[in-house]
Structure 1
Amino acid sequence: MRVALIPMRVEDGNFEANWEEFKRRFDEALKHKPDFLIFPEYCLTGFREWDFSGAELYGEITERVSELARENNVYVVFGLLEPYKNCVYNSALLIGRNGEVLLKHRKFQEPYKFCTGNTVRTAKTEFGKVSIIICGDLYNMRIAKWVRKKRPDFLFVPMEYSPDYGELNEGDIDAMSERVRLFRVKTFIVNSFPPGGAWVFEGNGTLISESKGDEILLWEGQP
């Protein structure tokens, strides 16, 4: 199993610029022949409080990314805004090698103006079961219980986190480690750039690989 975690630069409200950046980083990662390409939270629209206009592009975004996955025979995980009735979910999708949407996660840990998810699901791949959560879900105790109950073989976490003090520090990484220890599953986290960064943790919370800035993190091994 080979995973490329891609800390992509995201411009709020600029879909076309983000799409060109997405394709550029996608092609860059393909050179390493990954099975999974993992992008950050709402990476194709960004999000500026409380502008939900990016949700209007949900169908087009899903179609474009599905086509890329199908053409290149890879799995893709990425975040996007999802419209639903009179509100919006902060969601993430797993697209399969054939372009089919295999898994959708709706973020639970969100402010009141979002709709929020109410569970964690899994999807089967040839490498085992995968689950997705998003950014702040990492720090929610109900999410931890759901993950343990579902017992995925690995967990992907698209993130958009820019602390007020700039670059993430050791305390931020330690906090991630503590949460992963509760999940008891190998976890792959990728943040949007800036500040960027990507991390892979063992199920016991041990950090086993990381990258900084917008550097792609490549990981190969068993789930």
Structure 2
Amino acid sequence: MKVALIPMRVEVGNFEANWREFEKRFEEALKHDPDFVVFPEYCLTGFNEWDFSGAKLYDEIVERVSRLAREAGVYIVFGLLEPYKNCVYNSALLIGRNGEILLKHRKFQEPMKFCTGNTVKTAKTEFGKVAIIICGDLYNKRIAKWIRRKRPDYVFMPMDRSPWGEFNLAEEVDDMGRRVAFLGVRTFIVNSFGHWDSFGGAWVFDADGTLLASTEGEKTLLWEEQL
């Protein structure tokens, strides 16, 4: 199983520029024959508090990404804003090799004005069961309970994390590892780059929280899982 984690450069509110970057990085990743290509949280629109206008592009985004997945025959994981009735979810999708939506996760750990998710689902692939969580969900106790109950083989986590307070990246990564150990599942994490001051990077953690591989900035992380 080959995974490409892409810390994509994101411009807030500039869908067409983000789409060009998405396609470019996707085509670059295909040279390595991946099975999964993973992008960050709301990577095609960015998000500026509390501007939910990017949610209007949900259907177009799904159509475009599904086409890429179908044409390349790969799985794509990515985040986007999802409109629902009078509110918006911060969601992430797993698109299958045939372009269908196999899995949708709605983020738990969000402040007011977002709708929030209340469950974790899994999808079956030829590599085992996979689940998706988003950024701050890693620090949510309810999420941890769902993951331990569902027992996926892999977790994919798009994020859009920017430094705040007394930020230390090494400490941040150590903390992510401790949280992954609480889930007890091999976890693939990718952060956006350039959205405000998002620092990019991608990480693969073993089920016990050990850091197995990482990249910095906007460099793609390529991981091959021996099954």
TM-score over 0.5 (shorter chain): yes
Cα pair distance change 1:13/1:124, threshold 3 Å: same
Q: Does 1:118 align with 2:118?
A: yes
Structure 1 residue runs of 5 or longer lacking an equivalent are none
CA–CA distance in structure 2, aligned partners of residues 124 and 25 of structure 1: 26
- TM norm structure 2: 0.96
2:133 — aligned with what? 133
Structure 1 residue 164, shift from structure 2 partner: 2.6
Are residues 1:208 and 2:219 paired?
no
* Shift of residue 64, structure 1, vs aligned partner: 0.2
Q: Output aligned runs, 1:56-205, within 5 Å.
A: 56-164=56-164, 169-194=169-194, 195-205=199-209
In structure 2, the residue matched to 1:17 is 17
For the residue of structure 1 that corresponds to 2:115, the secondary structure is coil
SS of equivalent residue, structure 1 residue 138: helix
Structure 1 match to 2:221: 217
| SS across alignment from 2:27 | helix
Instruction: Output one character per residue of 1:119-172: Cα deviation in whole Å (capped at 9) or x when no partner.
Output: 100000000000000000000011001000000000000000011369851110
For 1:54, give the aligned amino acid: G
Residues of 2 paired with 1:75 and 1:18: CA distance?
A: 20
Matching residue's letter, 2:214: E
Normalised TM-score (structure 1): 0.98
Cα deviation code 1:8-56 (max 9, x no counterpart): 0000000000000000000011110000000000000000000000000
- Paired residues in the alignment total 223
Q: Unmatched 5+ residue regions in structure 2?
A: none
Describe the shift of the 1:168–1:70 C-alpha distance in structure 2 as closer, same or farther (beyond 3 A): farther
Q: Residue 4 of structure 2 aligns with which residue?
A: 4
SS at match of 1:157: strand
> Separation in 2 of the partners of 1:221 and 1:79?
23
**What amino acid is the match of 1:213?**
G
Partner-residue secondary structure (3-state), 1:93: strand
Distance verdict in 2 for CA 1:110–1:90, change over 3 Å? same
